[in-house]
Amino acid sequence: MSTNIDRYNRKISYLRVSITDRCNLRCIYCTPSETFKLLRQFDILSYEEVIRVIEAAVTFGIKKIRLTGGEPLVRRNVIHLIRAISQRSGVEDFSITTNGVFLKPLAQAIFKAGVRRINVSLDTLNPLKYVKITRRNCFRKVWEGISLAERIGFRPIRLNVVVMRGLNDDEILQFADLSIRKPYQIRFIEYMPLGVDNNWTPQKYVSSDEIKSRLESMAPLYPVTPEKNDGPALRYRFASAKGEIGLIRPLSHHFCATCNRLRLTAEGKLRPCLFSDKEVDLKTPLRRGCSQQDLIDLFRKAIGLKPKKYDLKRFQVQESQLIMRRIGG
Ligand code: SAM
């Protein structure tokens, strides 16, 4: 049996790598307030350590890597790391998730470093509402960054939209229209009860079924045939659209049976499931001089901890301190 297959017969081939808990936005569903505790620089894995982990991951069987955060593009010399990962043989699919604030100055260098796939979190197309959601006035920068990424040739460009009733659900059709005019995959994500004081209430949650029926009120949606590295999004398209729609349904239809991912937190812990508090520490062994084989064994240990499926109720009680910034959204 291959070493990257877990006890529920899931092949674990995807690693999300958070390289910082810092972020230049303060989104209301992710960050509690202006003042919160950040990791000390020393506690965050260095680029050399991240690369060692990625090398072990690839030997273990990881083929897809996504850089995330916090906001990955705020970390100093991030292009150096992007280039190093991009050049690593065995990484078949490498992408970045960003809030887009630094996309304009960095897009060209990211593309040159070999990255073609990019996800940008953008919950509104309204600059004033953007300030309300992110507590920062950066809509224009983000929009210009996305437009530049499109001109440079990034494909696919995915825009991730967390849908919150009463806040941005009135923009579902505007985003849908964007998917017709632009070659973007608009991915509607169900709002999850994650984080400290993240304002989640059942009333603000909009299910993907509701999102889909609202989209269908505009025009018929046609399913798009899934591809190998798609992940959990269900893909659709409007007739003659340049782009697509994606629906990500972590609450209404959990995708545990096909979950192929592990997360590496900024402080060097492997997290087998977003909704479980179990983690495997890689930083301490790394700093004590462990071998690559030791790291591979720790990957094996981590997939041994992957639950069959998550129990959100139990999780909420146990881990009210979970923060996406640290774990990586
Ligand atoms: N800074 C990068 C970005 O903006 O894409 C990296 C990810 S960052 C932690 C924030 C992303 O995590 C959000 O855009 C969203 O996609 C996801 N996220 C965070 N909290 C969430 C929540 N409560 N429900 C759904 N998605 C959430």
Q: How far apart are CA 110 and CA 56, in angstroms?
A: 24
Residues in the ligand 1 pocket, defined by CB under 6 Å:
23, 29-30, 68-69, 71, 97-99, 121, 160, 162, 189, 191-192, 194-195, 198, 324-325, 329
Where exactly are the structural domains of the chain?
14-327
**Other Cβ atoms closer than 10 A to 304:** 12
CA geometry: angle 206, 95, 51, nearest 5 deg: 125
Which residues does 129 contact at the CB level (< 8 Å), separation at least 6?
167, 168
The CATH homologous superfamily to which domain 14-327 belongs is Aldolase class I (3.20.20.70)
314-328, pLDDT tens digit by residue? Answer: 555 444 445 666 666
Q: How far apart are CA 317 and CA 319, in angstroms?
A: 6
Query: Which residue lies with its CA nearest to atom 23 of ligand 1?
Result: 192
User: What's the gap in Å between 162 CA and the centre of ligand 1?
Assistant: 8
**Beta-strand relationship, 234-238 and 64-68:** unpaired
DSSP sequence for 220-237? -EEE----TT-TT-EEEE
Q: How far apart are CA 241 and CA 239, in angstroms?
A: 6
Pocket test for ligand 1, best of 120, 121, 135, 274 (most atoms within 8 A of CB): 121
Q: How far apart are CA 103 and CA 30, in angstroms?
A: 20
User: What's the gap in Å between 324 CA and the centre of ligand 1?
Assistant: 7
206-256, pLDDT tens digit by residue? Answer: 999 999 999 999 999 999 998 876 778 999 999 999 999 999 998 898 889
Asked whether the beta carbons of 120 and 160 are under 8 A apart, the reply is yes
3-class DSSP state of 112: helix
Q: How far apart are CA 67 and CA 90, in angstroms?
A: 16
Six token digits for residue 144: 């210009």
Pocket test for ligand 1, best of 31, 73, 97, 211 (most atoms within 8 A of CB): 97
Query: Which residue lies with its CA nearest to atom 10 of ligand 1?
Result: 329
- Low-confidence residues of the chain, pLDDT below 70? 1-2, 33-35, 195-197, 229, 312-329
* pLDDT for 1: 46
Q: How far apart are CA 158 and CA 177, in angstroms?
A: 15
Query: Which residue lies with its CA nearest to atom 9 of ligand 1?
Result: 329
Q: What is the pTM of this model?
A: 0.94
Q: Where are the alpha helices (DSSP H) in the chain?
A: 47-60, 78-87, 103-112, 127-134, 139-152, 172-181, 208-216, 283-287, 292-304, 312-318, 324-327
* pLDDT for 196: 59
